[in-house]
């Protein structure tokens, strides 16, 4: 039986994408060769890379607006330093909304002054700080759109007249935003796009080339742009699978269509969390993530029963991160509404048993 996969990352991908990707590993487009044994400079792979880059911009509505899309290696964690390498001359501002944004902030400190613009650490990051000011003398402002671990999500973005950089690893392509407000977006593939091993970077070209330091080639966005995201051997398989997922999303109707489904999934689980007295939500209601729902059991004595029921229902990956505890239902684009229905049934069945 296929499991209901609520894993936080790496995580669920569309079944048709997995099937096509597995076939390409054996025989890529009836070429008699595997996708992973051909030259990355060959036309078939260059076409894959170009298509993936174009689809990313198209889905975000950023075509022809001065942006370039790159598929790089090193995960979102490498972008924590690449961003600072390329953009931090004197001082940058960071919004601290959890583990990942704090890591990004710490890396940036290696390159210049960093101001923590606001933080929700005082409440174990269960909310998004609001009403803070972003000084216009900063080189850039950095935020994390969705806090994968704590289950909070920025519903609106601050007014900002300096370049805005956003780590969208866990909610890219999940909801409509005015992406043009961002000057640099990055996202590790393994949350909503593909296998681990590549990171999407979407950057507005005119913010680059303004720092005085020398940038090593592999860290230099301009170099990667100049070489068509092929400065060195790209991670061919993760890029291919990401391309397939983006194609899948486009055929589905794009971000607008998936957002409707994502909202349905989120309201289903959150109404169960709110109505079922056995459970308690972690994130503050106004800031709840549509991607990662965090919650705990009110009574730990029910833990074993609940977890046995989850297992019997074929539910995988529901354990919360150790810094929150309890449970986390990650509901990325490829997770069906039916999987959420199964989880909600188990939760309400627990209530009838207790």
Ligand X SMILES: *Cc1c(COP(=O)(O)O)cnc(C)c1O
Binding site for L-glutamate: what residues are annotated? Answer: 41
Cis peptide before 10 (omega within 30 of 0): yes
**Which CB sits closer to ligand X, 86 or 169?**
169
Residue-by-residue DSSP string for 82-134: HHHHHH-SSEEEEEE-SHHHHHHHHHHTTTSEEEEEEE-GGGTT-S---S---
Output 78 or 296, the one with its CB closest to ligand X: 78
Cβ-based nearer residue to ligand X, 163 or 235? 235
205/112 Cα distance (integer angstroms): 22
* 211 torsion bin: left (phi>0), alpha (psi -120 to 50), beta (else): beta
Cβ neighbour number for residue 188 with a 10 Å cutoff: 29
329 and 292 Cβ atoms separated by less than 8 Å: yes
Q: Using alpha carbons only, what angle is made at residue 264 by residues 262 and 265, rounded to the nearest 5 degrees?
A: 65
Distance between CA atoms of residues 265 and 89, nearest Å: 42
| Active-site entry in 68, 139, 171, 191 | 191
Is 341 marked active-site? no
Tokens encoding 9: 């990352």
CB of 70 to ligand X, least distance (A): 15
User: Which three-class secondary structure state does DSSP give residue 318?
Assistant: coil
- Tell me how far, at minimum, the Cβ of 253 lies from ligand X, in Å: 25
Q: Which residue is nearest to ligand X (CB)?
A: 75
Which is closer to ligand X, CB of 148 or CB of 290? 148
User: Residue 74 CB, nearest distance to ligand X (Å)?
Assistant: 7
- Identify the active-site residue in 68, 139, 167, 183: 167
Question: Which residue, 76 or 347, is less far from ligand X as judged by CB?
Answer: 76
Contacts of 185 (CB under 8 A, 6+ apart): 60, 165, 166, 168, 172, 179, 200, 201, 202, 203
Q: How far is the CB of 167 from ligand X (least distance, A)?
A: 5
Instruction: Find the catalytic residue in 68, 100, 183, 287.
Output: 100
Residues that bind ligand X (CB under 6 A): 9, 75-77, 100, 144, 148, 167, 169-170, 188, 191
Token code pair at residue 92: 């940058």
What is the dihedral angle through the alpha carbons of 319, 347, 279, 316, rounded to the nearest 10 degrees?
10
CA 175/CA 255 separation, integer angstroms: 6
* Smallest separation (angstroms) from ligand X to the CB of 293: 15
Can 191 be counted among the known catalytic residues? yes
Determine which helix (DSSP H) or strand (DSSP E) holds 263, and give its type and residue range: helix 254-275
Minimum CB–partner distance for residue 76 and ligand X (Å)? 4
Residues tagged in the binding site annotation for pyridoxal 5'-phosphate: 76-77, 100, 148, 167, 190, 232-233
Binding site, by residue number, is: 41, 76-77, 100, 148, 167, 190, 232-233
By beta-carbon proximity to ligand X, the closer residue of 92 and 344 is: 92
In this structure, are residues 117 and 141 in contact, taking their beta carbons and an 8 Å threshold?
A: yes
Known catalytic residue at 220: no
Q: Which residues are catalytic?
A: 100, 167, 191
């Amino acid at each position: 039986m296929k499991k209901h996969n609520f894993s936080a990352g790496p995580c669920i991908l569309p079944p048709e994408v997995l099937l096509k990707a597995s076939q390409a590993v054996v025989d890529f487009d009836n070429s008699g060769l595997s996708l992973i044994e051909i030259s990355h400079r060959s036309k078939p792979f260059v076409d894959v890379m170009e298509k993936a880059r174009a689809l990313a911009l198209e889905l975000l509505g950023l075509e022809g607006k001065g942006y370039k899309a790159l598929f790089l290696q090193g995960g979102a964690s490498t972008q924590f330093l690449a961003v600072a390498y390329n953009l931090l001359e004197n001082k940058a501002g960071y919004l601290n909304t959890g583990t990942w944004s704090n890591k990004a902030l710490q890396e940036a400190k290696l390159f210049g002054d960093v101001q923590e613009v606001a933080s929700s650490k005082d409440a174990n990051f269960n909310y998004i700080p609001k009403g803070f000011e972003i000084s216009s003398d900063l080189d850039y402002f950095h935020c994390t759109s969705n806090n994968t671990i704590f289950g909070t999500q920025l519903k609106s973005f601050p007014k900002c007249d300096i370049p805005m950089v956003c780590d969208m690893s866990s909610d890219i392509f999940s909801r409509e935003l005015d992406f043009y407000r961002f000057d640099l977006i990055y996202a590790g593939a393994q949350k909503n796009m593909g296998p681990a091993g590549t990171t999407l970077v979407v950057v507005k070209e005119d913010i680059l080339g303004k720092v005085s330091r020398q940038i090593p080639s592999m860290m230099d966005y301009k170099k990667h742009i100049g070489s068509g995201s092929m400065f060195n051997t790209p991670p061919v398989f993760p890029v291919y699978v990401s391309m397939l997922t983006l194609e899948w999303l486009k055929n589905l109707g794009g971000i607008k269509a998936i957002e409707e489904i994502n909202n349905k999934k989120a309201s289903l689980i959150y109404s169960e969390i709110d109505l079922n007295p056995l459970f308690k939500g972690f994130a503050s209601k106004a800031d709840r993530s549509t991607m990662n729902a965090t919650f705990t059991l009110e009574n730990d004595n029910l833990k074993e029963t609940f977890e046995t029921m989850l297992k019997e229902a074929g539910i995988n990956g529901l354990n919360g991160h150790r810094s929150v505890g309890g449970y986390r239902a990650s509901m990325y684009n490829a997770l069906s509404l039916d999987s959420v229905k199964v989880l909600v049934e188990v939760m309400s069945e627990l209530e009838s048993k207790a």
